[in-house]
Structures are given as C-alpha cells and as structure tokens.
Amino acid sequence: MRHRGIACAVCNFQRKKCPQDCILEPYFPQDHPQQFQNAHNLFGVKNMLKTLQNLDDQEKKDEAMRNMIYEANVRAKDPVGGCYRIVLELEKQIKMAKRELACSILITRMLY
C-alpha cells in the first residue's frame, strides 16, 4: 500500500506526482524500481497501459502484468534467450523424464 506523497516506481521515473488512482502503482511500488525498469525497457509504459486498458477483468489485468513483469525480468537476466531458453530447458527436462519413465516401465515389465 502506497503512502501519500511517495510516488510509485513509474511516476518516480517519469518525475511526476503519483495520483491516488495510478493504474501502474499496484504493479510497480516505489521500492521496486528495477522491476519497473526491466518492464519499461521491454514493453514501454504506453504498451503496458494499453494492455491494462484493453482488459476488463481485474484478475486478467493482474495476470497480464505478472506475465509482463516476469518476462521482462527474465529478459533482463538473459537478453538473448529470455523465456525461450526457459522453455527449451523445460522441454529438455520433460524429454529426460519421459526416457526415465520408459526405462522404469521396461525394467518393471522385465521383473514381473
């Protein structure tokens, strides 16, 4: 919850007073400037606002912002691979798990 007079990370970055009804404040509180910077670098404030304005349901807005923030933070850590590298790693783990399962099934069938 924001204290009066303290701008959120977005308004602080833009050097403006943070209005009481600031739409981005819940996602970028003043103590998370790097999180905002990552999202700003990847999406830009205008696109984040446009995304929020195009969604009616608050739950969808929250989910959209969670995803954008996650993707932006991952991209900041891995500028080349981003989320795609995570997907590749998960696919690799799934493939390995399927192989292990197939081996376990084969061994079980041989024993019984």
Host domain of residue 106:
83-112
Is position 110 within any domain? yes
- H/E segment holding residue 9: helix 9-13
- The whole-number pLDDT of residue 42 equals 97
Is position 87 within any domain? yes
The total of structural domains in the chain comes to: 1
Is position 109 within any domain? yes
The maximal CA–CA distance of the chain, rounded, in angstroms, is 73
Is position 95 within any domain? yes
Q: What is the pLDDT tens value at each position of the chain, 112 positions in all?
A: 445 568 999 999 999 999 989 999 999 999 999 999 999 999 999 999 999 999 999 999 999 999 999 999 999 999 999 999 999 999 999 999 999 999 999 999 998 8
- CA–CA dist 65, 10 (Å, integer): 14
- CA–CA dist 75, 50 (Å, integer): 21
Specify whether the CB–CB gap between 36 and 60 falls below 8 A: no
